[in-house]
Amino acid sequence: MAHLRGLLSFCILVLLVVQPHQAYGSARGSFRRTRTDPMMSQANGICASSVIVHGYKCQEIYVATKDGYILNMQRIPEGRIAGGNMTKKQPVLIQHGVLVDGMTWLLNPPEQNLPLILADNGFDVWIANGRGTRFSRQHTSLDAAQPEYWNWSWDELVAYDMPTFFDYVHSQTGQKVNYVGHSQGTLIALASFSEGLQVDKLKSAALLSPIAYLSHMSTVLGVLAAKTFVGEITKIVLGLAEFNPKDPHVENFLKSLCANPGVDCYDLLSSLTGKNCCLNASTVDLFLKNGPQSTSTRNMIHLSQTVRDKVIAKFNYGRPDYNLMHYGAIIPPVYNISNIPRDLPIFVSYGGNDALSDVKDVQGFTR
């Protein structure tokens, strides 16, 4: 019963992000920086710009994956008013979605930012920044200007990034980890849990706007983009390994999508996710200053395959011989969500009118 109460308290706190008012924070660093000076990172990182300024302790941390990517994290070990409780604080790992980074959790005032709410309520908060985003563009041997750096999809986030984040938080705290994922952060969590990864280190998971299945999404722009991102056609058209929405080539590609009937790119967020009751102009403006962030073109192709094929599977190389070489089969293996242990505490939150995280798709993996 105590464990259940703890899980419910944790889940309630996750839902405490309410309608934003005035927003705080600013864009820091270059989208093109590949060899970040550690001192520059401390001065211009997420901690300095959006956490410490509000009176919280915050650490900038770098961890390396087994395939050489150096990933940035922030740790907020306690709330603004440090409590006298000497018991160990429960760690919470927060993972963002595609085309954003950890700053996406910190665009509101402190009382409306999930990481700071959790810190004020006694949690040890860790914010993950996925590979390719502005503070996670380093590698042990590659440069982000090289196409080889971008040779990954969300399969590699499952196989390398998630274990690296979990292992580090677990090693530093000695405790099982509470996990909060949004959008792509839910997809990689479910895929990971289905493979038996992280489950021994996981205390609970809260999945916000999950996108494991995308068969029923109703967003016109999302459906159109998924149809366009088919196989290697996108690489040929764009000629890019990095998918940076602020790159002129990608901007032209997006403009071509916006020219289609039924797509209103003057209201881009609504075109992607449906009408949102709880975003005001100042927050949208700040979001656009801090993003969108880069991902790999291959990742966008993989996400489109999830929409097109209506199955959660590993990346399809588009040729039977390539798939055979990588997987030993001509069809990529699936992530079997039914393999996730039934006793794993998972909380799922989704909106009834979300055009991406459709109710029918969510129910497809929660039954």
CATH number at residue 312: 3.40.50.1820
Q: Taking residues 177-200, what's their average pLDDT?
A: 95
Mean pLDDT of the chain, nearest integer: 78
pLDDT over threshold 50, residue 30: no
Chain-centroid distance, C-alpha 342: 24
Assess if residue 8 is contained within a domain. Answer: no
Residue 205 to residues 14, 94, 177, 273, Cα–Cα distance (Å) = 10, 10, 9, 23
Residue 269 to residues 1, 257, 263, 273, 275, Cα–Cα distance (Å) = 41, 14, 11, 6, 8
As a whole-number percent, the residues of the chain with pLDDT over 90 amount to 50
Which comes out higher in pLDDT, residue 365 or 340? 340
pLDDT over threshold 90, residue 339: yes
Query: 3-state class of 86 per DSSP?
Result: coil
pLDDT at 230: 53
Alpha helix positions (H), 82-144: 114-120
- 117 touches 17 (CB < 8 A): yes
- 289 touches 281 (CB < 8 A): no
pLDDT at 273: 56
pLDDT over threshold 50, residue 8: no
Q: List the one residue out of 101, 44, 99, 52 whose CA is nearest residue 73.
A: 101
pLDDT at 24: 27
Q: Which tokens belong to 64?
A: 């390396």
Place 21 in a pLDDT band, splitting at 50, 70 and 90: very low
pLDDT at 231: 43
Kindly give the interhelix angle for 220-228 and 297-309, rounded to the nearest 10 degrees.
Answer: 110
Phi, psi dihedrals of residue 68, rounded to the nearest 5°: 95, 0
As a whole-number percent, the residues of the chain with pLDDT over 70 amount to 67
Predicted TM-score (pTM) of the model is 0.81
For 134-186, what is each residue's pLDDT tens digit? 999 999 999 999 999 999 999 999 999 999 999 999 999 999 999 999 989 99
d(CA 125, CA 131): 20
Q: Taking residues 237-246, what's their average pLDDT?
A: 75
- Specify burial of residue 142 (Cβ count, 10 A radius: 0-12, 13-18, 19+): middle
Place 253 in a pLDDT band, splitting at 50, 70 and 90: confident
pLDDT at 258: 73
Assess if residue 215 is contained within a domain. Answer: yes
pLDDT at 95: 98
Assess if residue 10 is contained within a domain. Answer: no
Assess if residue 158 is contained within a domain. Answer: yes
In sequence order, the β-bridge partners of residue 62 are: 72
For residue 251, give the amino acid letter. Answer: E
pLDDT at 284: 58
Assess if residue 273 is contained within a domain. Answer: yes
pLDDT at 334: 96
pLDDT over threshold 70, residue 310: yes
- Number of domains observed in the structure of the chain: 1
Assess if residue 3 is contained within a domain. Answer: no
- Specify burial of residue 70 (Cβ count, 10 A radius: 0-12, 13-18, 19+): middle
pLDDT at 44: 82
Assess if residue 20 is contained within a domain. Answer: no
Looking at the chain, how many residues does it have?
367
Q: Which tokens belong to 344?
A: 């794993």
- Which run of H or E residues covers position 339? none
For 76-131, what is each residue's pLDDT tens digit? 999 998 765 657 899 999 999 988 999 999 988 999 999 999 999 999 999 999 99
Pairing mode of beta strands 202-208, 59-64: unpaired
Assess if residue 17 is contained within a domain. Answer: no
Alpha helix positions (H), 174-316: 184-194, 220-228, 233-238, 248-258, 268-273, 281-290, 297-309
Which comes out higher in pLDDT, residue 269 or 97? 97
Pairing mode of beta strands 346-349, 202-208: parallel
- State the residue range of the domain holding 143: 42-366
